[in-house]
Amino acid sequence: MGDPSGCGPELCVKAMMQAKTYDICRPMIIGDAKTIAKAAREAVKQQDITIRPVSSVKECLFKPGTIDVYDLRNVEIEKLKIGKVDAMSGAAAFTSVKKAIELALAGEIDATITNALHKEALNLAGYNYAGHTEIYADLTGTKDYSMMLVEDNLRVVHVSTHVSLREACDRVKKDRVLKVIEIAYDTCQKLGISEPKIAVAGLNPHAGENGLFGSEEVQEIKPAIEAAQAKGIKADGPVPPDTVFAKAHGGLYDIVVAMYHDQGHIPLKVLGFQYDKEAGKWKSIKGVNITLGLPIIRSSVDHGTAFGHAWQGSASELSLINAIEYGVRLAENKGK
């Protein structure tokens, strides 16, 4: 469901209204049934869709026109604050994610798809996490994990994410870079790419120019690439970060290993996020966020809670639909 004060409930309804969602999977929303019903009526303006609360997966009908909601009753609907940071909404977002993880670990569901949560609301509720990625890692006991972003044919996986830029530079170490290269390789294979070509971005301008602009490429990144190559992985680099994404988008590489959060996020969002100046709003928000290295499948929208226009019926469900499609694809290839 995501943060109920944001666009998540509205997007859930919009995604469930599409027949193709039911063509590719058996979808169930985890969250608060009254919130989903309110979003259907007030944001999406759908009066004839049935919101069906359930208390177990086996109760679901998975029937178009009927939205099954694993009802946690975690929102006091009369106290819901639309478009505002709120501790109740932060808690609801967390408990929804926690239940999704529990069901996936128990084998009751095959994949989990997350809508956006608000980090400040999450922390106001007493859950001190930087975001979904860290929640999943903690509750599944996963040490080696990474974030992958996808838009069109561009895939990017990160060495570090929600840390300061100074700390991100400090985290560029051979063992971590090698682990992320391996995670990228395994994920591409799960997506059906048998021999993935992996580009490893440099950290510094021009990938350091052999130590002229920094030593990380020589001391940490290049040795990690060579170790990956010794294992039979087609890894290339370090590739200058100002050209690597254009090369990957053009088809030279199947995936890019980025060194830190914004290095990977900016090119993906330039491709997937399109702002309409005349209309004064986003006309397209696309992209998928996938957490790699987990024992369960998690894909997500690649945007925030959109408090500025939440519950107005204008939020685009494209990113959520893309996330569902990727979750299905990973589930279908699990174990292969």
Residues 305, 238 share a domain = no
Q: What range defines the domain where residue 38 resides?
A: 8-142+294-333
**pLDDT given at position 280:** 77
Q: Are residues 12 and 118 in the same domain?
A: yes
Does residue 309 sit in helix, strand or coil?
A: helix
Q: What is the percent of the chain where pLDDT is above 70?
A: 98
Place of tokens 């390789």: 185
Q: Check whether residue 177 and residue 256 sit in a common domain.
A: yes
Specify the range with the lowest mean pLDDT, choosing from 57-71, 75-89, 152-166, 281-295: 281-295
- Are 167 and 137 within one domain? no
Domain termination site, one of 252, 268, 284? 268
**Could you tell me if 129 and 161 lie in one domain?**
no
CATH no. for residue 175?
3.40.718.10
- Higher-scoring residue by pLDDT: 140, 334: 140
**CA–CA separation, 69 vs 332, rounded Å?**
23
Sequence length of the chain is 336
**Does residue 61 lie in a domain region?**
yes
- Note whether 183 and 228 are same-domain residues: yes
CA distance 30 to 22: 16
Among the listed residues 211, 209, 202, the one whose alpha carbon sits nearest the alpha carbon of residue 237: 202
Q: Residue 334's pLDDT is what?
A: 78
Looking at residue 282, what is its pLDDT? 67
**Higher per-residue pLDDT: 144 or 110:** 110
What letter would DSSP give residue 49?
A: P
Transcribe 51-96 into DSSP letters: EEEESSGGG----TTEEEEEE-----GGG--TTS--HHHHHHHHHH
- What's the CA gap between 326 and 233, in Å, rounded? 24
Same domain, 125 and 49: yes
70 phi/psi in degrees, rounded to 5: -70, 100
Q: Are residues 198 and 87 in the same domain?
A: no
Q: Would residue 183 count as lying in a domain?
A: yes
Which residues, 6+ apart, have CB-to-CB distance to 277 below 8 Å? Answer: none
Positive or negative, the Cα torsion across 257, 293, 118, 104? positive
- Domain shared by 86 and 134, yes or no: yes
Q: What is the mean pLDDT of the chain?
A: 93
CA distance 248 to 236: 12
Position 133 in a domain: yes
Strand order in the sheet with 288-292: 112-114, 298-301, 288-292, 146-151, 154-158, 255-258, 197-201, 234-239
**CA–CA separation, 319 and 296 (whole Å):** 20
The pLDDT value given to residue 2: 97
Taking residues 63-67, what's their average pLDDT? Answer: 95
| N-to-C CA span, the chain | 30
Show the CA angle centred on residue 235, arms to residues 234 and 241, nearest 5°.
Answer: 145
273-309 pLDDT, tens digit per residue, is: 877 788 777 666 777 889 988 999 999 998 899 998 8
| Nearest C-alpha neighbor of 187 from the set 317, 266, 288 | 288
Q: Is residue 245 part of a domain?
A: yes
Whether the pLDDT of residue 221 is over 80: the answer is: yes
Tell me the C-alpha distance between 163 and 184, whole Å.
Answer: 21
pTM here? Answer: 0.84
Q: Is residue 280 part of a domain?
A: no
Q: Are residues 216 and 241 in the same domain?
A: yes
What's the confidence (pLDDT) of residue 283? 67
Query: Phi and psi dihedrals of 118, rounded to 5?
Result: -110, 120
pLDDT of residue 336: 58
Task: Tell me: do 34 and 137 sit in the same domain.
Answer: yes
The Cα 33–Cα 16 span in angstroms is 14
Per-residue pLDDT reduced to its tens digit, 228-285: 999 999 999 999 999 999 999 999 999 999 999 999 999 988 987 877 788 777 666 7
Residue 48 pLDDT level (bands cut at 50, 70, 90): confident
Residue 36 has pLDDT above 80, yes or no: yes
Q: Is residue 241 domain-shared with residue 302, that is, in the same domain?
A: no
pLDDT tens-digit profile of 123-160?
A: 999 999 988 989 999 999 999 888 889 888 899 999 99
Would residue 214 count as lying in a domain?
yes
The answer to whether 302 and 278 have CB atoms below 8 angstroms apart is no
**If you average pLDDT over residues 49-74, what whole number do you get?**
97
How many domains are contained in the chain?
2
Residue 170 domain-assigned (yes or no): yes
Q: Does residue 58 belong to any structural domain of this protein?
A: yes
